[in-house]
Structure formats: structure tokens, C-alpha cells
């Protein structure tokens, strides 16, 4: 195991009937890293996560978690790992604080941690609210707090932001960042590429059981030779003329704006500035969606 590696997974494969749900997956995750496994539904993210957590036995390949084998169930690892499953379940009729204290006591840790974790996930003011009275976003935060109740070194989160409205999703991002700031390693799955781009130190893009690319999101995007799109208000420069500006590869009029595609945005922007044509300016660089398209030849659909 390389120094500082928390997870080392090599050649993982898992079959359900005729389907290889995980088909040769290798990666490692460093201490304190925020690592995202992303991909569309059915890509094999959950199965991969469950193998790493020690909840599933791979058909092939090996995993080391803190240098230990997670399967068969390894009691040495339990205090060090926190797991939030896709469908969270709580003890019936308990308040948020009681849920956490119950989880904490299962691990034999002090209940003081419960208050601390509620604070960390921004639920301190809901401590006395019963779990069934919480909103979807608050329940998600409570289930993350439960995964952290015993103060583990690494936390595994399976689609924690799925099924949340955009505001709740953004609130949860702050929670995830706060967990990372505590020095914890985070491994999480998501089908939101935009979110992974913002949150993760490194991401593995999965599709059909395989990792197609793995790196820092910015590196993945920069590695693409994709054009930048520059939008300006229509009517300032005629379309035909816009097509001839230095560096413009394509120009299109969408009825609201003129969209200019270029691989030399600096040059194009200075030309537009000279022409006084920066009204309504928007610049959109490549994203992980473009990376997915390049890797698979198809548009990303979660
Ligand atoms: N217990 C199981 N029995 C049979 N097939 C399964 C089982 N679990 C998963 N699969 C199949 O394996 C593939 C990968 O599933 P997995 O849940 O790992 O993907 P995922 O990327 O997490 O997708 P999702 O985002 O929908 O959870 C899917 O085609 C799924 O239908």
C-alpha cells in the first residue's frame, strides 16, 4: 500500500447473472481525499461502494481499506468507517438527537458526539424534532450525521444528494465540505456531474461497470480539446461577420444570443471588446458532461 492510501482496490469484478455490474475496477483513495464515483444509473457505483465497504464480496479482485481486507466482515475496520446507504432507515419515533445517541451507543462512544454531529450537519435546531417530521434534505443530513456518529476516519455516502431539490442539494454540499474540513476521507457516489465537478478532489467516471477516466475534475475537463462557447447579444454583429472573426470555429444564432465557439477565447474576447460587442456576454467552458460525451459517444443522462 502506498503511503497515505486509505483505499486500494484492484481489478474488482462482480457479476449478477449474465451482467458484469462491476467489470475490472481499480483505484486508490488518499487520506483526507474527497473522491467521487460518478456515472449514470446502473453504472455499477453502488456495487463498487458496497465491495469497498465490505458489504459485498467481489467475484474477482482485491480491496485494502487502511491496509485491511474489508471482506469477510472485519471488526477492526468498523470503528474507522462510516456508511450511509442509499435508502436510509431510522429508529421509529425518535428525535434527531435520540437517533444519533442510539447510533453512538451502538458503537460505545460518548453521546456528546451526537450534539457535535448535529451541529456539523446543521441540524442543531432540529435536535428535538422527530425524524418523520424532518424534510427530505434534513433527513439526508441526519442520516449522514448517523454515519458519522462514531467519528470514523472515512465516510461512504451513496447518492446523498439524490432526490433533493436544488436548494437542499446546495445546503448538503456545505455539509460535505465541512466533513472534509474535519480531515475525513469521503467517498461518495453521484449521478450529478456538475456537483462532482464542484466538490471532488478526484472523480472516477463510471459507465457499464468500468472506470472510463479518473482524475481531478479540472484536469479531466482541461484534457479535452473542446471549444469554449462565447455568447453575446444578437444584433450587435451580423452572424455572417461573426463567423469570420479570428478564432471563431462556429457561430449560431439561437434567437436570443449569438453563440460563438472558439478554442482561443482570449483572442476572441479581446476582438469583441474592441468592437464594443460584450453586451450580454456569457462564457461557457467544457464541463464533465463534455468529458462523458467524449468518452462514451453519447450525451450524459443520469
Ligand atoms: N442484487 C442485484 N441483483 C441483480 N442485479 C443487480 C443487483 N444489484 C445491482 N444489480 C444490477 O447491476 C448493475 C449495477 O448496479 P448498481 O446499483 O451498482 O449501479 P449504480 O451505478 O449504483 O446505479 P444507481 O445509481 O441506479 O444505484 C445494474 O444494472 C443493476 O440493475
Residue range 91-140, pLDDT digits in tens = 888 999 999 988 888 887 777 777 888 888 989 999 999 988 999 889 99
| Res. 202: pLDDT tops 90 | yes
Contact present, 50 and 30 (Cβ < 8 Å) = no
Query: What grid cell was written down for 35?
Result: 473522491
Written as one string, the DSSP assignment of 7-49 is EEEEEEEEEETTEEEEEEEEEEEETT-EEEEE-STTSSHHHHH
Contact present, 156 and 84 (Cβ < 8 Å) = yes
- Residue 227 is predicted with a pLDDT of 87
**Ligand 1 binding pocket includes 209 (Cβ within 6 Å):** no
**Ligand 1 binding pocket includes 42 (Cβ within 6 Å):** yes
CA of 71 to the centre of ligand 1 (A): 20
**Ligand 1 binding pocket includes 47 (Cβ within 6 Å):** yes
Q: Tell me which residue has its CA closest to atom 16 in ligand 1.
A: 44
Query: What grid cell was written down for 289?
Result: 458532461
pLDDT tens readout for residues 28-68: 999 999 999 999 999 999 999 999 999 999 999 999 999 99
Q: Tell me which residue has its CA closest to atom 3 in ligand 1.
A: 16
Mean pLDDT of 157-181: 91
Prediction pTM value: 0.88
Domain boundaries, the chain: 5-216, 227-285
What percent of the chain has a predicted confidence (pLDDT) above 90?
68
- Residue 83 is predicted with a pLDDT of 93
pLDDT band at 2 (very low <50, low <70, confident <90, very high): very low
In CATH, 5-216 is 3.40.50.300: yes
- Residue 143 is predicted with a pLDDT of 92
Contact present, 302 and 192 (Cβ < 8 Å) = yes
Contact present, 236 and 277 (Cβ < 8 Å) = yes
Q: Which atom of ligand 1 approaches the CA of 159 most closely?
A: 25
Q: Tell me which residue has its CA closest to atom 12 in ligand 1.
A: 21
Cα 98 from Cα 81, distance rounded (Å):
21
- Residue 221 is predicted with a pLDDT of 92
Mean pLDDT of 280-290: 91
Give the strands of the sheet with 60-65, arranged side by side: 19-30, 5-16, 60-65
Written as one string, the DSSP assignment of 139-208 is HHHHHHHHHTTT--SEEEEESTTTT--HHHHHHHHHHHHHHHHTT-EEEEEES-HHHHHHH-SEEEEEET
ipTM exceeds 0.90:
yes
Q: Tell me which residue has its CA closest to atom 28 in ligand 1.
A: 42
pLDDT tens readout for residues 236-274: 999 999 999 999 999 999 888 999 999 999 999 999 999
Mean pLDDT of 69-87: 90
Q: Which atom of ligand 1 approaches the CA of 209 most closely?
A: 14
Mean pLDDT of 21-26: 98
CB within 8 A of 78, min separation 6: which ones?
Answer: 107
Q: Tell me which residue has its CA closest to atom 5 in ligand 1.
A: 16
pLDDT tens readout for residues 190-201: 999 999 999 999
pLDDT band at 302 (very low <50, low <70, confident <90, very high): confident
**Ligand 1 binding pocket includes 41 (Cβ within 6 Å):** yes
Cα 175 from Cα 147, distance rounded (Å):
13
Amino acid at each position: 500500500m502506498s503511503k497515505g492510501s486509505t483505499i486500494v482496490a484492484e481489478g474488482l469484478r462482480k457479476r449478477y447473472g449474465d451482467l458484469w455490474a462491476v467489470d475490472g475496477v481499480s483505484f486508490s483513495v488518499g487520506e483526507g481525499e474527497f473522491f467521487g464515483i460518478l456515472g449514470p444509473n446502473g453504472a455499477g457505483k453502488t456495487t463498487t461502494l458496497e465491495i469497498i465497504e465490505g458489504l459485498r464480496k467481489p467475484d474477482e479482485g482485491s480491496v485494502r481499506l487502511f491496509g485491511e481486507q474489508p471482506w469477510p466482515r472485519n471488526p477492526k475496520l468498523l470503528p474507522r468507517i462510516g456508511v450511509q446507504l442509499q435508502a436510509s432507515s431510522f429508529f421509529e419515533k425518535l428525535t434527531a438527537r435520540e437517533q444519533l445517541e442510539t447510533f453512538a451507543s451502538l458503537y460505545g462512544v460518548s453521546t456528546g458526539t451526537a450534539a457535535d454531529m448535529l451541529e456539523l450537519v446543521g441540524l442543531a435546531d432540529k435536535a428535538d424534532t422527530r425524524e418523520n417530521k424532518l424534510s427530505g434534505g434534513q433527513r439526508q443530513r441526519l442520516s449522514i450525521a448517523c454515519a458519522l456518529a462514531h467519528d470514523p476516519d472515512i465516510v461512504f455516502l451513496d447518492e446523498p444528494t439524490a432526490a433533493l431539490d436544488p436548494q437542499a442539494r446546495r445546503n448538503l454540499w456545505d455539509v460535505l465540505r465541512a466533513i472534509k474540513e474535519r480531515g475525513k476521507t469521503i467517498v461518495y457516489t453521484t449521478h450529478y456531474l456538475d456537483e462532482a465537478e464542484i466538490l471532488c478532489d478526484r472523480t472516477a467516471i463510471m459507465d457499464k461497470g468500468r472506470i472510463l477516466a479518473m482524475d481531478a475534475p479540472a484536469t479531466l475537463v482541461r484534457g479535452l480539446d473542446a471549444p469554449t462557447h462565447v455568447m453575446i447579444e444578437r444584433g450587435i454583429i451580423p452572424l455572417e461577420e461573426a463567423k469570420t472573426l479570428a478564432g471563431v470555429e462556429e457561430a449560431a444564432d439561437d434567437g436570443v444570443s449569438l453563440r460563438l465557439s472558439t478554442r482561443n477565447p482570449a483572442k476572441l474576447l479581446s476582438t469583441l471588446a474592441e468592437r464594443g460587442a460584450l453586451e450580454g456576454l456569457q462564457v461557457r467552458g467544457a464541463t464533465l458532461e463534455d468529458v462523458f460525451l467524449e468518452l462514451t459517444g453519447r450525451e450524459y443522462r443520469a
